[in-house]
């Protein structure tokens, strides 16, 4: 995941080249950088995930945030992004039952799904208690999100209790994947526990550490 606010075009090119060489499945960049990442990984099996919803960069705060930028999504989809990760601001998701955010996410999902793009809702579990996490998970699924992810842009690793809470909150007729984000140093140690709790995948948020391991 290249989600620092100061990521340079050269870093995007380098990360994509190394991802292609090492056989990684995907790279995640801010939506504005998606066209460059797509060009840099063209012809490979590396998927580009365009991240939205955190204009301050990788540091995702619990405070207010602006509306989701559908124009950014359109640009990312037009240039070839096949996945979108949307960070849901807790303050907006929980304010007045999150109706405004739900409408925006529904519009985003319709736009993405029309072009065959999957939408991953980032729940920012480290900023929410159990009841809040369940509410945001239900909002995301109700709005049409295909996948749920516990967080990105943070070193906080999801707990088994948080994964279980997400699973229990999901409507019975919809069962999106809960993707758990964890630091590279922690991922191997906690993967099996998180999967037993109901997580379908464990995502590593430090690709440079993975690439160093592959190179070794």
Query: Between 65 and 46, whose confidence is greater?
Result: 46
Asked, for residue 1, whether it belongs to a domain, the answer is no
Asked, for residue 48, whether it belongs to a domain, the answer is yes
- Inter-residue contact 75 to 54 (CB < 8 Å): no
User: 162 is in which domain, residue-wise?
Assistant: 9-215
Helices (runs of H) and strands (runs of E) counted in the chain: 9, 7
Q: How confident is the model at residue 174 (pLDDT cuts 50, 70, 90)?
A: low
Q: Check residue 113 and give its pLDDT.
A: 94
Quickly list H helices, the chain: 9-22, 34-40, 70-78, 90-94, 99-114, 130-143, 160-169, 184-196, 207-215
- Beta strand 147-149 pairing with 177-182: parallel
How confident is the prediction for the chain on average, in pLDDT? 79
Asked, for residue 189, whether it belongs to a domain, the answer is yes
Q: Which percentage of the chain shows pLDDT scores above 70?
A: 75
Q: How confident is the model at residue 10 (pLDDT cuts 50, 70, 90)?
A: very high
Among 4-18, 53-67, 163-177, the range scoring the smallest mean pLDDT is 53-67
Closest CA to 141 of 192, 112, 95, 178: 178
CATH of the domain at 30: 3.20.20.70
Asked, for residue 4, whether it belongs to a domain, the answer is no
Asked, for residue 184, whether it belongs to a domain, the answer is yes
Q: What is the pTM of this model?
A: 0.81
- Indicate the number of domains in the chain: 1
Q: 3-class DSSP state for residue 162?
A: helix
Q: Check residue 132 and give its pLDDT.
A: 92
């Amino acid at each position: 995941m290249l989600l620092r606010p100061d990521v340079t075009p050269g870093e995007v090119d380098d990360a994509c080249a190394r991802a292609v060489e090492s056989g990684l499945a995907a790279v995640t960049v801010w939506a504005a950088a998606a066209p460059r990442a797509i060009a840099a990984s063209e012809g490979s099996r590396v998927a580009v995930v365009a991240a939205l919803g955190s204009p301050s960069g990788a540091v995702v705060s619990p405070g207010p945030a602006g509306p989701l930028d559908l124009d950014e999504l359109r640009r990312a989809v037009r240039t070839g992004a096949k996945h979108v990760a949307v960070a849901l601001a807790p303050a907006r998701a929980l304010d007045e039952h999150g109706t405004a955010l739900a409408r925006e996410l529904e519009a985003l999902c319709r736009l993405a799904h029309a072009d065959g793009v999957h939408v991953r809702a980032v729940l920012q579990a480290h900023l929410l208690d159990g009841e809040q996490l369940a509410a945001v998970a239900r909002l995301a699924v109700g709005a049409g999100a295909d996948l749920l992810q516990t967080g990105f842009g943070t070193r906080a690793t999801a707990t088994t209790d948080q994964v279980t809470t997400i699973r229990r909150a999901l409507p019975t007729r919809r069962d999106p994947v809960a993707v758990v984000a964890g630091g590279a140093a922690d991922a191997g140690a906690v993967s099996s526990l998180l999967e037993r709790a109901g997580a379908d995948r464990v995502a590593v948020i430090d690709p440079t550490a993975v690439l160093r391991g592959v190179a070794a």
